[in-house]
Amino acid sequence: MPLLYLLLNYLTLLVSGPVPRATVYVFLADTCPISQAATLPLRELHAQYAGQGVRFVGVFPAADATPAALAAFAKTYQLPFPLQADPGHRLTKQLQARVTPEAVVLGSDGRTALYRGRLNDAYAALGQHRPVTRRHELADALADVVAGRPVAVPRTEPVGCFIE
């Protein structure tokens, strides 16, 4: 059943346009400060890669993720991509997300995970924000994807608020 749920979500996205090179599922929580801080780099990545065939979807696994709450988050943080609630954690479990923010990049088949992990190294650990972000792993992974190369670093350890 979880695979069917993932495929149905993917097929729903496909109806709105051509088959993407990749789909970035980014797990977010409106109450997580690290998720809130991740919205700027997400907007920048969307601006850079959406025109190159990369689709972005924000996933909110919180039990209280309502359409109104998602719309408010999208408006507050000016997110230009679709957001979806996952209160039953079907997609969260299928993609094995553990924290927010966490990114999972699926290939054009909608099943193969090309990258899984953090957006960047802005946080060394919970509560430890770096003054300068040095590594941009999600951006690097997307650059590899659009160039047709295997993702050099397919997995990193995300830092964020635990998904309950």
Q: Is 84 helix (H, G, I), strand (E, B) or coil?
A: strand
Q: What is the pLDDT of residues 44-101, one digit of tens each?
A: 999 999 999 999 999 999 999 999 999 999 999 999 999 999 999 999 999 999 999 9
> Residues 9, 11, 13, 14: what is their CA dihedral angle, to the nearest 10 degrees?
170
Contact 27, 61 (CB under 8 A): yes
Alpha carbon separation from 159 to 19, 34, 41 (Å, rounded): 31, 8, 15
User: Among residues of the chain, what percentage have pLDDT more than 70?
Assistant: 90
Q: What is the pLDDT of residues 112-132, one digit of tens each?
A: 999 999 999 999 888 899 999
Give the model's pLDDT for residue 19. Answer: 85
139 burial (CB, 10 Å; 0-12 / 13-18 / 19+) is middle
44: its two tokens:
């920048």
Which residues, at least 6 apart from 162, have a Cβ–Cβ distance to it below 8 Å? 98, 99
Report the CATH number of the 2-10+38-162 domain: 3.40.30.10
Give the model's pLDDT for residue 16. Answer: 54
What angle (nearest 5°) sits at the alpha carbon of residue 1, between those of residues 104 and 89?
50
Give the model's pLDDT for residue 17. Answer: 65
